[in-house]
Amino acid sequence: MSVMTPNSRITIEAGKRSGKPCIRGLRIAVADVLGWLAAGMSISEILEDFPELEAADVTASLQFAAHREHSMQMLIAA
């Protein structure tokens, strides 16, 4: 079973990467992209190392993380 998030570039599949949110059904998790950015990689370096990714995938990862963070804050405040 596959779940599409509001951002269609991020997919969640039970059998892929243990159900972690991934980029367009690839085996690259949102957490991977965020980790590379946090480690100091530029978007162009990420795209060079992973040519299957697009700049919009990196942006979608950031948007997904921001939305999830906002959702967590809403739950905590409730």
Q: Would you tell me which CATH number, out of the four given (3.40.50.300, 1.10.599.10, 3.30.230.70, 1.10.10.10), belongs to the domain 2-77?
A: 1.10.10.10
What are the sequence ranges of the domains in the chain? 2-77
pLDDT value, residue 33? 98
Asked whether residue 25 carries a pLDDT value surpassing 70, the answer given is yes
- Count of beta carbons in the 10 Å neighbourhood of residue 34: 15
**Whether residue 1 has pLDDT greater than 60:** no
Give Cα 23 to chain centroid, integer Å: 6
% of the chain with per-residue pLDDT over 70 = 83
- The predicted structure's pLDDT at residue 70: 77
Burial of 12 per CB tally in 10 Å (0-12, 13-18, 19+): middle
Amino acid residing at 40: G
pTM to 2 decimal places: 0.83
Whole-angstrom distance, CA of residue 18 vs CA of residue 38: 22
Beta bridge partners of 13: 2
